[in-house]
Structure 1
Amino acid sequence: MSRVSLDTLLSRSERNIGSGMNAIVKKSALEVIRRAYKEGINVQISHGMRTYAEQNALYAQGRTKPGNIVTNARGGQSNHNFGLAVDYFLTTWDGSKATWSVNSDWRRVAAIGKSLGFEWGGDWRSFKDYPHLEMTGGLSTAQLRAGRRPSLKDRTGTKTAAPSKVVSEPASGGTDWVKDAQKWANSRDYPSKARFKELDEDGLPGPLSFDAFLRIYQYFGKTGIDGEWGPKSRAAAVIQDKDNHTPGWTRLLQATLCLYGYKLKVDGIFGRNTDKALRAFQRSRGITDDGITGPNTFTEMFKAA
């Protein structure tokens, strides 16, 4: 049985980390994988950036939905929601299966993470979260929700390559491109037509914004407007790409991608930047990165809204 390659573990992990992560957190998480691999331990990241809607869905598990309780954090109360945390697991030698035993190898990975500046959830007193690594720079989630971001130190000792997508933020109050997306949602009488309360244009991609965009999707798709993603909503998906698109659906696509951390103008023009962001989102969700929207892409955007 041959060992899974380091490149495979890194590639899988980058896909699971998703977009919008703090650059140092992402770089450090990948360095954990590299250092553990040298010691004969296969590590893979299972989660990175998580939307408020995705966090709320996890919170519901074991409470209002089937399964075991896996988190005590609602949307906006987890450092995953701000790109400052990752979850990891170990794999078998060939990388074909995940292993979740908190053994000496698992704890060694945690130690590597802590040497790079991470805090480990296994050290927490009240709720042990053994897969969890985070960097907060001492900020609380309340401060993060208010728009503050930590100043983190890169301890990897490696040079950072230029990122493929630069995501910059104002000093406070969220991101300008999310504000523009929220402003679009509040225009054209959409709050009345799609049955949602006018959004605060605060630049913070919270559950109310995801709910509003899903309702606009349902309004466009002429399906029942209930803020729930189901079979009827999926069936209403409209194919959009660079060669076949309409301004309204393109604006919805652009605005929703903004909530996921992609810096786009909500202008209804399906150009190079929109195509690039869409493909990056599709890769982050493990679906075909063809630059074409449809049921699969919209499901990944709205299933947990």
Structure 2
Amino acid sequence: ANRDKLAALMVTYPSTHGVFEATISDVCRIVHENGGQVYFDGANMNAMVGLARPGDIGADVCHLNLHKTFCIPHGGGGPGMGPIGVAKHLVPFLPGNPVVNVGGSNSIGAIAAAPWGSASILPISMMYIDMMGSDGLTRASKVAILNANYIAKRLEEHYPVLYKGQNGLIAHECIIDPRPLKASSGVDVEDIAKRLMDYGFHAPTVSFPVAGTLMIEPTESESKGEVDRFCDALIAIRDEVREIELGIADRSDNVLKNAPHPMTRVISDGWSHGYSRERAAFPAPWTRLHKFWPSVGRVESAYGDRNLVCSCLPTDAYADVVAEAES
């Protein structure tokens, strides 16, 4: 019905839902049959390197994020660096450069100042690839998938795993769904995320791609011991929620609703909560050995997102400094 309006389809594979979509080749074929192109988002290539190729699946264009898959840090809005591969029929249209001849015969011109990207970032990935080698990169993909499935299996008795692929398995990440806990205990995903800080963990992705859920992506980097410690923390948090459900803990004054617990609050003279300082700050054995202290208590996230709070001096303060310098 939309054949005349179809230009291209952008698809992430494996999907951000954490599964290998079994019909991906059929989707690419249908798009091609109706005159469209397929843009393949390579954000999750850490589940494919050495195991599958986007071109074989049917992609016409694919970008390969260097973050995560090729050793560049992920987060902070960047660096957004990486190569873009195209099928043969698109090679003539590759962008060019006014200094270095890198474009195709029908180049659209330059789209970036540097013809090959950032010289400060690319060598890091090049060294990583050289040191890992083909076998190492393939093993990294396998371990990333194994870690994610291990976490899903350990947590599925405590939190529903929202999406699974064929044979009940997932790809490189899993989405656990704590939304039913809201009705039974008043606890939501933000409470769990903040409580994880007391256990020494920065929370995984919250409310993406599904609102109210946690998307967990361990990659290949974490050891089994660290993965188990993370799972133990989430299982312990589920037990803390259960105490609220059973009426053992107060619905509003509990370790989750008041999390995280910074040192200044734990050691203060006043402590009016219905649980101990020890339980607030040292909920697991490892927190006694290597305690990460949150610098502040909970911040109202929605307010912070909607209201710019500037911590710098007001502009008139700088004017006073200039006036003093000129006097």
The two structures share one fold, judged by TM-score above 0.5:
no
Structure showing greater relative contact order (alpha-carbon pairs closer than 8 Å, 6 or more residues apart): 1
Per the normalisation by structure 2, the TM-score is 0.28
Per the normalisation by structure 1, the TM-score is 0.30
Say which one has the larger Rg. 2
